[in-house]
Structure 1
Amino acid sequence: MTQHSSRRSFLRSAALACVASSLPMKPALATMAPTTMVAEQVKGLTVLFQGDSITDGKWGRNGDLNHIMGHGYAFSIASRWGADFPSPDLRFYNRGISGNRVSQLQDRWQTDCLDLRPNVLSILVGINDAAMLMEKSSVSREDFQAFEDSYRDLLTQVRKQDPKTLIVLCLPFLASVGKVKDKWERYQSTVNSLALSVRKLAIEFDAVLVDFQMVFQKAAKRAPDSYWIWDGIHPTVPGHELMAREWLKQVSARLKFLKKYA
């Protein structure tokens, strides 16, 4: 192996180590110029977005790179990150599927997550689980526990495959608009209970937590809820932009080379 190849191999390993933790920088890497260090840290990273229709954004199910990320926060994150830190080894995948609940993510987890071997895994799921629970005449603690257990199973599989994967858990959210407004108190209570499970799992799996509900609550002080979330569930274009900003801000606390987004 040439000296140049050895150096490239070392730098790629350093990038993955940065994903796993904020351990002190190795001396050899610390001597590099800051611009070079930032450029090398993004090489070899695979970023995967998982979830339901909010993530889906009608991403292309073919090889058309013009539509591969769909339209929404995942697209905004990938376009900004990819443009600011370009690398032919940087990969972004969108595998959100409209209507999915956490149990349906389980059904396709091997193909749509583990086989892609993500270094960064972002999950936003829960609103369809809430809708299903809303159809029941009564909801028990066991219902919420089933959601949590299924979610935990997904994360456990990821940790077993690669303990260094950076997991990003996004809280489900909604707004008092449209059909949600008609049953607002029950919707809010159900989503809040699911969000508590996600918060618990974020601690358990040392994941980044992204609180989208908080973001939209703050945004409602500047414009009506319907401006940001048009039907109470799905964000508008400005709403997706707020999500992208918050996601990058929170993830930059772990991936230091993204600190410009903090």
Structure 2
Amino acid sequence: MAFDIPSSARLVFQGDSITAAGRDTDDDRSLGHGYVAAVAETLIATGSAPDVLNRGISGHRAADLRARWDRDAVQLKPDVLSVLVGINDTWRRYDSQDPTSTADYERDYRALLLPFRDGGTRLVLIEPFLVPVRPEQWEWRADLDPRIQVVRRLAAEFDAQLLAADGLLNQAAREAGDPTAIADDGVHLTALGHARLAAEWTRLVRVG
């Protein structure tokens, strides 16, 4: 069920390169060119005037978010906090032999949410996702799928909106007839992929 927030609400988006989407990290108002910017455009078009902040940073894992969390989330006092993190925790296992255990991922992710348990901030947790474009990427599911389950459990624990992005985007890839239409490398979204993610986000959060 969607939740309603005031039109002037502060929305903070946190995550890795999928959220950052090329934003200028030297400009606190830069939204990048991905789903965050699309969400902002949609809300403005409906007459809302939310304060939208993008604090995604390329390459970050859950532990990296935790290290900068007070400055880039807690101190911003968001009315809505949206989090998408986890694919780099999986990816580094396969390209750098630098794994993050599921237990450590869950510990760090929970630590991100604890400051907002009773503070009036509404939470949107976006599942990490993978749209395999190469046969070997199917092997990543063994590492990623348990992380998706972590996010689902935390969404229930913290009464957050759950954006089930993994199924959403894989279905979009099937509809498009080509996974690269959604994520050109299986991870980083195309314009169509960002649009699908933004549309689902704005379905879950009504601003006005």
TM-score computed with the length of structure 2 as normaliser = 0.90
Q: 2:128 aligns with which of 172, 179, 193?
A: 172
Deviation at 1:218, TM superposition (A): 1.7
- In structure 2, the residue matched to 1:54 is 18
Q: How does 1:43-122 map to 2 (within 5 A)?
A: 43=8, 45-63=9-27, 68-87=30-49, 90-122=50-82
Amino acid corresponding to residue 100 of structure 1 in structure 2: H
CA RMSD of aligned residues (A): 2.1
Tell me if structure 1 keeps the 8 A contact 2:28–2:53. no
1:42 corresponds to 2:2: no
Q: Identify the structure with the greater helix proportion.
A: 1
Deviation at 1:126, TM superposition (A): 0.3
Cα deviations across residues 31-83 of structure 1 (Å, max 9, x unaligned)?
xxxxxxxxxx313x100000000000121234586xx1111000000111123
Q: How does 1:120-135 map to 2 (within 5 A)?
A: 120-134=80-94, 135=96
- In structure 1, the residue matched to 2:171 is 218
Identity of aligned residues (%): 35
Amino acid corresponding to residue 91 of structure 1 in structure 2: D
Q: State the SS of the aligned residue for 1:221.
A: helix
- In structure 2, the residue matched to 1:246 is 200
1:236 corresponds to 2:190: yes
Greater relative CO, 1 or 2 (CA 8 Å, sep 6+): 2
* Structure 1: tracts of 5 or more residues without a match: 1-16, 20-40, 258-262
Distance in structure 1 (CA, Å) of the matches to 2:32 and 2:108: 26
Amino acid corresponding to residue 150 of structure 1 in structure 2: D
Bigger radius of gyration: 1
Deviation at 1:182, TM superposition (A): 4.1
Tell me if structure 1 keeps the 8 A contact 2:132–2:138. no
- In structure 2, the residue matched to 1:146 is 104
Distance in structure 1 (CA, Å) of the matches to 2:87 and 2:124: 17
Q: Identify the structure with the greater strand proportion.
A: 2
Q: State the SS of the aligned residue for 1:220.
A: helix
Deviation at 1:248, TM superposition (A): 1.1
Distance in structure 2 (CA, Å) of the matches to 1:61 and 1:183: 33
* Structure 2: tracts of 5 or more residues without a match: none
Amino acid corresponding to residue 79 of structure 1 in structure 2: E
Distance in structure 2 (CA, Å) of the matches to 1:62 and 1:83: 27
- In structure 2, the residue matched to 1:38 is none
Deviation at 1:204, TM superposition (A): 0.3
Decide whether aligned partners of structure 1 residues 188 and 114 sit closer, same or farther in structure 2, where only a CA change above 3 A counts.
Answer: same
TM-score computed with the length of structure 1 as normaliser = 0.72
